[in-house]
Amino acid sequence: MEKDLPRDVVKIALKVLEGLGSSRALTVAILLRYKEWDQIATLRCDPRIYPEGAHDSYFADASATALLRKLADLPTTIDRRQKATEKWWEGERSCFRTNRRLSQYEWGLPLDPRDDRIASFLVAMRKNIFAIVGHGPDDSNIGRFGPGATFADRGQYTTVPDKMNARPTLTPAATPYLSILSENMWGRIISAEKDPLLVRGNRFATVPKDATTDRSIGSEPSINIFYQLGLGQQLREKLRLAGIDLKHGQDIHRQIACVASLTGSFATLDLSNASDSICTTLVRLCMPLGWLERLNALRSPFSLIDGKWVMLEKFSSMGNGYTFELETLIFAAISKTALELAGFPSQLGSDVYVYGDDIIVPTGGVHEVISALKFFGFQLNSEKSFWEGPFRESCGGDYFCGQPVRPYHLKELPNEPQQLIALANGIRRVIDTNRNISRKVRLRGAWFSVLDALPTAIRCCFGPKDLGDIVVHSEERWNVRYRSGVRYVKCYRPATHRKVAYSLFSPDIVLACAVYGLGWNDGGVIPRDAVLGYKIGWVPYQKWGIS
């Protein structure tokens, strides 16, 4: 039976495309009518071909191209998990080649005189990393639980009490951390009641990314990731003191990208498969010994993929609790060192900005940075890297001559009122971003068609953008009321959550959760993705302005 999208979704999508009214929108509309799902998923819009001042034209084309591209339920013929698996193996092959290339610098093998420049680069890079992180982490490494799955804890059993109650897992190299763990309540429970299970490494898994591929992650052993997250937090603080603020990093990157799209002073770079491309030898070459010992003790040296254990060429993957901070540190050090040696400004937080694999550097030194990244095994994502022309992109912010041009992506089928509100707000953002009056008018027809699908009582939940998708965004009118001088906005918000009752766990587990600092939430813990229902309600909103 031929796959298809629901008729109402196709109808709304066609209205949006008609409202955009560009040649690209017509192309997507034709593909949609003829059910060419693979072509819709793989279609791209290159901002480089648009001249300065054409941001409205680009935005219309980009909006048409992106509308359905990240829809997880787009009925393509693409095996997304297989694509993610192939990319994982590509990362391993790349790391193998880079490990082999870098090994001569690690073991002090005789070097060709032409390699002196690389050796000097590595020395300078190690100095820059040492200046940021010092000799090693605090030995009183305090771990913490994350919200996701671990090697053995998966599905609905990923709450903190579930993880404390389950048989813990760890890699052999992480066994010294059992003595550290014994100093807290969870560790005492493990010592008295649980027998930790030794595993060789993490478990390969995938999560949805877009209509063409999934994203690969490694589900780490529970004790490993508990302390990985602690190390990640320490790295995050070291980076903050050095000028890389990861807490506000996305906002900072978007601001710099916006200015750079006007001035051309900065280049915005993005890497492909970045976390899976950090090879083990690179980390051994650049990290101080104290950090290396602890990072290495907690990493997974193997991954269980398709039923087989594979020894990893990469140092860590997404899913490891310190990978994001580690890759930020390494990319910041590579960028800073490349700029320094080439004589360009290189101060972190004023000349160099890094957030994961999103990198911003001065345009004059961009080629030196790219060359250094390529040597260490990292592949530039040419579709999302910009240093010429009026377009820049970083951390989810797209800017054309200083104008925001981030297109809207429909990521899930709008089957429920809260999903319809999110869709209406996405269309509204397209309307507000566009400066073409006739296009605005046409798009409002698509916006109203989505509102018409909402029940009457929910349709009137108008409110500010600050409240997100619990209200329909509208600057013209908000549905408000006042009580005791406080303004409340009518909304459609989560009302019922699935809870895991503390009564399901032993008193020791409950006490350990309390000591850990877990909120009680009326006798139960709320797991991830636990919303069971929504209801109309009122939320306080004290930011005064249009009302």
Give 53's pLDDT tier (boundaries 50, 70, 90).
confident
Task: For residue 409, name the pLDDT band (cuts at 50, 70, 90).
Answer: very high
Report which residue type is found at 36. E
Q: Assess contact for 450 and 12: CB atoms under 8 A.
A: yes
Please tell me the distance from the alpha carbon of residue 320 to that of residue 333, in angstroms, as a whole number.
21
Mean pLDDT to the nearest integer, 417-442 = 93
Residue 264 is which amino acid? G
Task: Please give the average per-residue pLDDT across 492-516, as a whole number.
Answer: 86
Q: What is the pLDDT of residue 521?
A: 65
Q: Does residue 111 surpass a pLDDT of 70?
A: no
What is d(CA 292, CA 152) in angstroms, rounded to the nearest whole number?
26
pLDDT at position 1 over 60: no
DSSP for 2-28? -----HHHHHHHHHHHHHH-SHHHHHH
> For residue range 114-125, what is the model confidence (pLDDT) as tens digits?
678 888 999 999
Q: How many Å apart are CA 407 and CA 436, to the nearest integer? A: 15
Residue range 44-63: average pLDDT?
A: 94
Backbone dihedral angles phi then psi of residue 358, each to the nearest 5 degrees: -90, 115
Q: Is the pLDDT of residue 252 over 50?
A: yes
Q: Angle at Cα 71 formed by Cα 66 and Cα 76, nearest 5°?
A: 100
* E runs forming strands in 426-530: 462-463, 472-473, 480-483, 486-497, 500-501, 524-525
How many whole angstroms separate alpha carbon 537 and alpha carbon 463? 12
Of 87-96, 98-107, 265-274, the one with minimum mean pLDDT is: 98-107
Domain ranges of the chain: 7-77+416-452, 160-400, 461-540
Q: Per residue in 393-404, pLDDT tens?
A: 999 999 999 999
For the segment 126-155, the average pLDDT, to the nearest whole number, is: 89
Give the separation between CA 337 and CA 119, rounded to whole angstroms.
12
Domain spanning 160-400 has what CATH number?
3.90.1850.10
Question: What is the bridge-based pairing of β-strands 480-483 and 486-497?
Answer: antiparallel
Rg, the chain, Cα only:
25
Q: 532 and 496 in contact (C-beta within 8 Å)? A: yes
The average confidence (pLDDT) of the chain is 92
Report, as an integer, the average pLDDT of 136-154: 86
Residue 256's φ and ψ, nearest 5 degrees, are -65, -40
Question: Looking at the predicted structure, is the pLDDT value of residue 545 above 60?
Answer: no
**pLDDT above 50: residue 547:** no
How far, in Å, CA of 407 to CA of 396, rounded?
10
> What pLDDT, on the 0 to 100 scale, is given for residue 430?
94
Check: CB of residue 292 under 8 Å from CB of residue 282. no
For a pLDDT cut of 70, what percent of the chain falls above it?
Answer: 97
C-alpha distances in Å from residue 120, one per residue of 338, 341, 345, 380: 11, 9, 19, 23
Q: Which helix (H) or strand (E) holds 271?
A: strand 266-272
pLDDT at 2 over 60: no
Count CB atoms within 10 A of the CB of residue 482: 9
User: Which residue stretches of 67-184 are H helix?
Assistant: 80-107, 116-133, 160-165, 177-181
At 500, the pLDDT band (50, 70, 90 cuts) reads confident
At residue 291's C-alpha, the angle toward residues 238 and 111, to 5°, is 115
Residue 280's CB: how many other CB atoms inside 10 A?
20
Low-confidence winner among 156-170, 227-241, 354-368, 400-414 (lowest mean pLDDT): 156-170
Cα–Cα distance between 421 and 222 in angstroms, integer? Answer: 37
Q: What is residue 546's predicted lDDT score, i.e. its pLDDT?
A: 46
Residues 228 and 219: beta-carbon distance below 8 Å: no
Residue among 176, 146, 525, 159 nearest 322 (CA): 146
Task: Write out pLDDT tens, residues 255-295.
Answer: 999 999 999 999 999 999 998 999 999 999 999 999 999 99
Specify the DSSP class assigned to residue 147: S
More confident residue, 505 or 201: 201
- Any bridge partners for residue 270, and if so which? 358
pLDDT (mean) for 73-86: 94
pTM of the model: 0.93
